[in-house]
Amino acid sequence: MLWRQVFRSPFAVPSPRRTVSSPSVDACTPSLARRFASTHLLASSLKMVVPKSNNMPETLDPVQEALLNEVCILVDQNDQNIGAATKKDCHLLENGICRLHRAFSVFLFNKRGELLLQQRSDAKITFPGMFTNTCCSHPLAVNREMDETEARGVKKAAQRKLEQELGIPLEQVPWEEFHYLTRIHYQAASDGKWGEHEIDYILFLQKDVDLVPNPNEVKSVRYVTPEALKNMMEEDKAGKIHLTPWFRLICQSQLFEWWENLHNLRKFDEHAVIHRLS
């Protein structure tokens, strides 16, 4: 296991519709473009070398560029709110690192226990074309998403982004039903200009949902079994596909143990701990 428990937080947090469930890639279509409208430092041991995607855009997609004006929550290494900065300022590399900010990663499973993955759009500024967990993004520096009580703000941000990226109706993913497991701290460079440096809240949810992926955000989606994901990890090692760095780290650490215990996750709750992954 790669967890390294470096910090214990002083504010421990207590802890029938159509579905898409094909194990193969379901490509997004241009007709879904209507979904566009919605819308410091770490030890060198935490740095990751990520292969540059051949799909890295030479010029920024205008929709993604507009999203760079969103304002994220800056945090210190203990996840204490220390201010705010635009998404652009949070993701620009300076001396090889980015400003540390709050984020979340959603792992959504269907009733059969398959995990929904997405392949990031080629329009994405960081890690385009890579496969990752269901949804990864940031709570914004607005009152609704800054509420730290039981991670409510992060959960509300996750609900918002599931609709914006995957078209999942808000009522199908009530924020109260997200299970907050723990937090991870990692950083990774996407290319020579952009990267990530996040304290990432891990959120689980098991629901059958409707999907209308936003093609500006998502290139494809698929549901996978544990065996299928392990095969993807081998393909990632061989360079046939690329997993996002945070998803790879979570896969290599505790994901499969959590997955085996979807109906008994509370025993894994670690709200007072931030795991430093390298």
Spatial contact of 13 and 148, defined as CB atoms under 8 Å apart: yes
Residue-wise pLDDT tens digits, 40-58: 223 333 333 334 444 444 6
- What is the pTM (predicted TM-score) of this model? 0.80
pLDDT at 84 over 50: yes
Going along the chain, which residue ranges are E strands?
Answer: 5-8, 26-27, 71-75, 81-86, 101-109, 115-120, 131-132, 135-137, 179-189, 195-206, 218-224, 273-276
Active site residues: 136, 198
Spatial contact of 70 and 164, defined as CB atoms under 8 Å apart: no
pLDDT at 66: 92
pLDDT at 58: 61
